[in-house]
Chains A and B, each alone.
Chain A
């Protein structure tokens, strides 16, 4: 999904950057030493390219890179490039994700990789869960196996298994690595919870929301008090779509999972009863519903959402008024993996980037501390979970890492397929018309079929439960 990366208020960001730069300062000796090593090595082997091309769909990784990669020397004013200590220039190519746009652009560029000029070749590209499989496929062979870069299993030992499984091809070669784990959660507004449930304690709230029946009951109570349980149609989508029994696509047939139809029914009920505000993910009104004047009980979010979306939308006034719980059903949402493009000319730099940003426990912990993102280090996260003093100011002092560390090991990404982005977007889009009353069930189904075949001409049929 579109993991929305959004800049926090620019001040906050600038603050983080300054901090992290300062933090990096301490490591400069280390870095310099490493640079010398690298230089001697380079003399023997093929020299590294002068330009490191990184492709992504938003600025999340860019912020991580600029903020936490120790070799960063300076960032261009417009952030279009980053210069490393050894003089390598990182060029950022950012194409929006929606409507397979990023995939499409990336595919075109990867196909031209062999004929591209040295400095134009893609070195690193990012992928997300919805289409990861397409790029880590052994036959496609566009992402270089980590082993070829010299990254060992030991380096990756502290990462969550599912983050490795999803980017491992049929032959067992892992072709990407991530700095985060992305369990889903339900973020609720403390003040509204108090009003509706009489408590804002995460454990008690969780008890009230532990399954869908209870969740619906609370929705009804909230509605009576003039609140909306959810903001939009797609809010609860991931809790259903990530608890499906089979992949989206089997051969060339799209199989709509019964669980998705449950989502349709639930959302239709919510809409008709006025439990939601009829917004769509990421649109203006949806964002506004998270602001201080919003009247929405809560939002389904993943780890990354708290800091980058919710905190930004809530603003200063909303600080401390939020808390997170597991919600009615465990799920996951999103996740970003770093891949090395085949044919890249900066293998050493890429290896270093991957090791530093996804395997270095200290850096990972720092990211979590600064941004509240849930990073991919099992032992590091455990330390935070066990630390009674650790808590998020934004969440009113709650130790959200503790909650995540309990659900993260349960994540199962075995039901993802390379078609997920297109299918999910088309499904949400088609049924939005149904919720809005612009289309009946059959029309919505038909529109979904039309859109899917437009997006993926190779798919031949759609089966409904």
Chain B
């Protein structure tokens, strides 16, 4: 926005509207309008019972009262726990890897290979990945088979991963971790590489060791990107659905401890309970709106230089 173009004649300005028209039209139809109807339905009792529809009947805030009474806080907690359990290793490992990959003293060979491999899970269909993990970790599955062959567990006494809260949540966290740590590593690497090399040189001349360089120079300078990663990951976490849904076959078992908020929404959408689904949606919308505003400001202020600045550099590299 900051570089106003010179010599732009007024007569062209209306073309701006023409060019942005399709975007806003489609947005209005497929997102804005649905948002309004979603909010609207959240105030109604409206569901399918057997082969008939009941309602719509205006009930005010009853649906909201209902969702808060009926475990929504618990599902929010589940979502948070599974997200954090995946995010902490994700950010730690990514930081370490980014530091290693950009550390000239390490001279790691096959960087490209590792980058390609660790990024790969990100592209895998989450549903297929979850189905795969389900098959591998089931009571009679290959993982238990391997553990038995190695003598780690007793023959005939498999670890019942999906029957325990810890096991199920860990698997969800593991998948989230695997799907995203490669992505974060590459993002962080770009940020680290964007730091002025002169800073590192100066630090080395002053006799700093790698730990000091990492904590005193690298970390503070990539802080904006870390904030950005945190928030986008949090929004991604809020949307957590495919993985626990398919892993637990939509049950959020055991004891509903792996039911996420979107799974809860999906349950209501599935049984065609529009009123309740509306209330859950609106709640999620408000949560996300708060995050969106945070992202907007973190994007527009400090990250503006760091992220976009770095992008330009890499872009030029890529175009060669």
Contact = CB atoms under 8 A, between A and B. Distances in A.
Let me know if chains A and B touch directly in the complex, using CB atoms closer than 8 Å.
yes
Interface residue tally on A, bucketed by range: 20 to 34
Nearest to A435: B163
B51 A107 contact: yes
B253 A432 contact: yes
B311 interface: no
B184 interface: no
Contact of B253 (A98, A100, A433, A454): A433
B271 A436 contact: no
Given A111-B51, A140-B51, A284-B141, A438 B255 contact: yes
Contacts of B140: 284-285, 288
A283 to B, nearest CB: 7
A208 to B, nearest CB: 26
Nearest to A101: B270
A279 B249 CA distance: 16
A290 to B, nearest CB: 12
A438 to B, nearest CB: 4
A142 B49 contact: no
B250 to A, nearest CB: 6
Contacts of B271: 100, 104, 454-457
B245 to A, nearest CB: 11
Contacts of A137: 50
Contacts of A104: 270-272
Contacts of B48: 107
Contacts of A110: 51
A279 B50 contact: no
A230 B271 CA distance: 34
B254 A439 contact: yes
B255 A447 contact: yes
Interface in B145-179: 158, 160, 163-165
Contacts of B83: none
B253 A429 contact: yes
B256 to A, nearest CB: 6
A284 B54 contact: no
B223 interface: no
Contacts of A456: 49, 271
A283 B163 contact: no
A436 B251 CA distance: 15
B299 to A, nearest CB: 38
Given A134-B50, A458-B54, A99 B254 contact: no
B71 interface: yes
A341 to B, nearest CB: 12
Contacts of A356: none
A457 B273 contact: yes
Interface residues of B, number: 33
B116 to A, nearest CB: 33
A287 to B, nearest CB: 9
Nearest to A436: B163
Given A104-B271, A134-B51, A454-B267, A279 B253 contact: no
A418 interface: yes
A212 B164 CA distance: 30
B242 interface: no
A454 B255 contact: no
A438 B254 contact: yes
Contacts of B70: 450, 453
B115 interface: no
Nearest to B256: A447
B51 A433 contact: no
B139 to A, nearest CB: 4
B71 A450 contact: yes
B241 interface: no
Interface string B243-280: 00000011101111100000000011011110010000
B138 interface: yes
Contacts of B251: 429
B133 to A, nearest CB: 14
A392 to B, nearest CB: 28
Interface string A89-115: 000000000111000100100110000
A413 to B, nearest CB: 19
B47 A438 contact: no
B139 A279 contact: yes
A278 interface: yes
A285 B139 contact: yes
Contacts of B47: 457-458
Interface string B41-58: 000000111111010000
A247 B271 CA distance: 22
A433 B255 contact: yes
Contacts of A278: 160, 163
B255 A443 contact: yes
Nearest to B139: A285
Nearest to B276: A457
A457 B270 CA distance: 12
B7 to A, nearest CB: 58
Residue of A104, A438, A443 ringed by the most chain B CB atoms within 10 A:
A438
26 contacts: A99-B249, A100-B271, A104-B271, A107-B48, A107-B51, A134-B50, A134-B51, A140-B50, A140-B52, A278-B160, A279-B139, A284-B138, A285-B158, A429-B251, A429-B253, A433-B253, A433-B255, A436-B163, A438-B254, A438-B255, A438-B257, A439-B254, A447-B255, A450-B256, A457-B47, A458-B54
Interface of B: 47-52, 54, 70-71, 138-141, 158, 160, 163-165, 249-251, 253-257, 267-268, 270-273, 276
Given A142-B51, A433-B254, A457-B276, 12 more contacts: A134-B51, A278-B163, A285-B158, A288-B140, A429-B251, A432-B254, A436-B164, A438-B254, A438-B255, A439-B255, A454-B271, A454-B273
Q: When A and B form their complex, which 3 residue pairs have the shortest distance between CB atoms, in order from nearest?
A: A438-B254, A457-B47, A458-B49
